[in-house]
């Protein structure tokens, strides 16, 4: 009698002495998601007085935003079977993984400059200049793989 199982009155000796089949299986699942985002903004104002009587003002501003996401997953499985009667062993390994990501963003900015100065002939001169810009970008990608390996070993041994 097997001592640790005595209180349950279970006898494993016959089972352990008999030939049979042993099977082992292992599975693993892994997954994740990550995200990121950011926003940046800025502005400025500059006013200057020229000794010759001119006044100028410059206003600038901009904003930028970035965002992205990443997701991945994997599955792994290993199965092993051994027939103790024949000595044959079978092993199967399967692995699947994949991921996807995307990033995007933009930058926008602009400026306005106004200059008022005394002009020739007593008429003031007014200069106005403006500029703006917009840049965008995006990037994405995917990845996937599937691998399987099968192994069979015949337990017979011929010695002649």
pLDDT by residue (tens digit) across 101-160? Answer: 999 999 999 999 998 888 777 778 888 999 999 999 999 999 999 999 998 888 655 555
- Cβ neighbors of 97 (< 8 A, separation 6 or more) are 72, 73, 74, 75, 143, 144, 145
Q: pLDDT at residue 90 above 70?
A: yes
The Cα–Cα gap between 149 and 127 comes to 75
Return the C-alpha torsion angle 115, 119, 123, 126, nearest 10. -20
DSSP state of 1: -
Q: What is the mean pLDDT of the chain?
A: 86
Note whether 129 and 101 are within 8 A (CB): no
């Amino acid at each position: 009698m097997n001592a640790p199982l005595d209180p349950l009155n279970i006898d494993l000796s016959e089972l352990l002495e008999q030939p049979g089949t042993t099977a082992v299986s292992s599975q693993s699942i892994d997954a994740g998601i990550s995200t990121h985002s950011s926003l940046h903004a800025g502005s400025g104002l500059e006013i200057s007085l020229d000794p010759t009587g001119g006044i100028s003002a410059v206003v600038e501003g901009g904003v930028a935003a970035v965002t992205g996401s990443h997701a991945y997953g994997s599955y792994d499985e290993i199965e092993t079977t051994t027939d103790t009667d024949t000595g044959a062993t079978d092993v199967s390994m399967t692995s699947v993984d994949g991921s996807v990501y995307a990033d995007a963003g933009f930058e926008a900015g602009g400026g306005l400059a106004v200059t008022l100065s005394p002009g020739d002939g007593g008429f003031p001169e007014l200069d106005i200049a403006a500029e703006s810009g917009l840049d965008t970008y995006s990037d994405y990608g995917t990845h996937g793989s599937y691998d399987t390996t099968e192994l069979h070993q015949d337990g017979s041994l011929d010695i002649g």
